[in-house]
Structure 1
């Protein structure tokens, strides 16, 4: 039976993608293309899950006309929404591709009141037992990263399968609640343990440490180097296809969503990782989330390596 899936986006956004030949100060820079997309890391997860045929419900905060746009666009895709409406306007972020350079302009977002935070936590508290909930991205003004531990506690009490893709060091506090999966990138994993950079050996060592501290699974996204999956029973390294990178903003979200989607649809860990790597790459080669058309071809160039090192 496929579990009910919820996504929770604390800091939703509209992402505006633009392409220009070059970008110069103090003059009008006219774009060649523009594309508006509902965003926020777990908004991306919801969209990609739906493209895989996996139904899900989107939770989080929205406000103003931009928030209504996000809600409307998700509903058009057939995604159920149960957002918490707030005062203020959901943010708009801008991503500009100028030749071989990429500029990312990301706003903070509106302020969230304590009442609205409580309203969201109450919604999470009502999620049916056994469901999977994905929490990802930054937290808006008015909310501290303590909310991640609150959600982890509720998930543990209600027997929810919690997936965390967050950069806050509060992740370490959440591990005692035994999240189903955590998905850091290399830089985040290093930061959790007070390091600026880590070698491949340290990458594996720290990933294992996350497991020892309570996580059931770890999926480390490594950009053009692929990804690393760690559980108590296995360690798997996956390569990624090479190609022209257009936009990296959503690639990690696509990787996570496609991995989870394939797992809940009954695929093996190896096949889920292979598909996820191709989907992440296809997204990096696109203006926004990949439409999956190129994924089968990209999967052919992916290698999967099983690393036989037990977790002590």
Structure 2
């Protein structure tokens, strides 16, 4: 079983406005509502690639109802915890001359809600995979990642972590199966600027030395790097295409990596599928589908 955890999922309200101006009425030329959150994206793309997963997290209010409906519509098995106070956040993404985002706060999550999440995670065992990604909202303990990793330690669960800075580095002693920073996040950890794949490799190796089994680094237009637990290093430029929307591309890479590894057992193939899946999402206004991913792999 694969489970994903999104602590603070959202409804993403995406609009386009011609020549947006502050202080007056602006009218949209395009609008769409999508289920949002890094773990939710991973689950949707896994489903698009033919692999089932279960989405965990917290929802509340009428927006939580709509999030569950949209996830089910996308084929995601939702097992969200219903929170009593507040509502699932709405993130408004306004595309105009510049892109502007307004992100909501999310519901009030109690310790009882957290324990309910832990009970679901405790059901995982040998051979299962858990993907934890994204920020930890202020309503939750700051050490949520470590608490989850500690509970699963020694139980044979492959844990994937996609998070920034301290959230990532603090879980490394628990030996996560895969971590997926981008080159900017990796550079922030070590206080350096990383622009090329050659510059990324030694720092990805450092994350392995600090505890990660596999390190996948996404680099947008530069492609990516994988330092695998076998000691092998794979790197590749990005596929050629026009970026339409980069939101969810990194999450898609995680889904592609897991799908490729499950299907072939090859880290090289998993890496290629990760890059193709991330690019397929970036080149479209929706998350990657299997035909789009296979087309990019065939053209590389």
Residues 21, 278 of structure 1: alpha-carbon distance in 2 compared, 3 angstrom cutoff: farther
| Distance (whole Å) between structure 1 residues aligned to residue 74 and residue 107 of structure 2 | 26
Alignment: residue pair count: 297
Offset of residue 38 of structure 1? 0.8
Do the aligned partners of 1:50 and 1:79 also contact (CA within 8 Å) in 2?
yes
> In the alignment, what sits opposite 2:267?
269
Alignment-derived partner of residue 244 in structure 1: 242
Decide which of 279, 283, 286 is 1:285's aligned counterpart.
283
Aligned mate of 1:77, from 74, 92, 101: 74
Equivalent residues of 1:250, 1:288 under 8 A apart: no
Separation of aligned partners in 2, 1:22 and 1:256: 35
Q: Residues 112-159 of structure 1: CA distance to partner in whole angstroms, max 9, x if unpaired?
A: 112211221122112233200000011122213301001111221322
**Aligned partner of residue 28 in structure 2, secondary structure:** coil
Match of 2:210 among 210, 213, 228: 213
Query: Which consecutive residues of structure 1, in runs of 5 or more, have no partner in the other structure?
Result: 303-312
Deviations 1:30-85 (A, max 9, x none): 22211111110010000000111101111111111111112222223332221111
**TM-score, normalization by structure 2:** 0.92
Match of 1:310 in 2: none
Q: Distance in 1 between matches of 2:156 and 2:119?
A: 15
How far off is 1:199 after superposition?
A: 5.0
- Could you tell me whether the CA contact under 8 Å between 1:110 and 1:141 is conserved in 2? no
Aligned residues of 1:17 and 1:35 also touching (Cα < 8 A): yes
Structure 1 residue 299 and structure 2 residue 286: aligned?
Answer: no
* Per-residue deviation, residues 80-105 of structure 1 (Å, max 9, x unmatched): 22111112101011222225x33232
Provide Cα deviations, 1:1-42, integer angstroms capped at 9, x if missing partner: xxx111111111111121223211122222221111111001
**Residue of structure 2 equivalent to 1:306:** none
RMSD: 1.8
How far 1:244 moved relative to its partner? 2.5
User: 1:301, CA displacement in angstroms?
Assistant: 4.7
Give the CA deviation at 1:267. 5.5
**3-state SS of 2:272 partner:** helix
Find the aligned partners of 2:17 and 2:299 in 1 and give their Cα distance. 31
1:234 paired residue number:
232
Note the 1:80-119 alignment, pairs <5 A. 80-86=77-83, 87-99=85-97, 101-119=98-116
Q: Distance in 2 between matches of 1:83 and 1:34?
A: 26
Output aligned runs, 1:36-47, within 5 Å: 36-47=33-44
User: Is 1:197 the equivalent of 2:193?
Assistant: yes
- Map Cα deviations across residues 275-307 of structure 1 (whole Å, 9 max, x no partner): 3222212211222313344333333454xxxxx
| Preserved contact between residue 218 and residue 229 of structure 1 (Cα < 8 Å) | yes
Q: Given the superposition, is the C-alpha separation of residues 96 and 290 from structure 1 closer, same or farther in structure 2, using an over 3 Å criterion?
A: farther
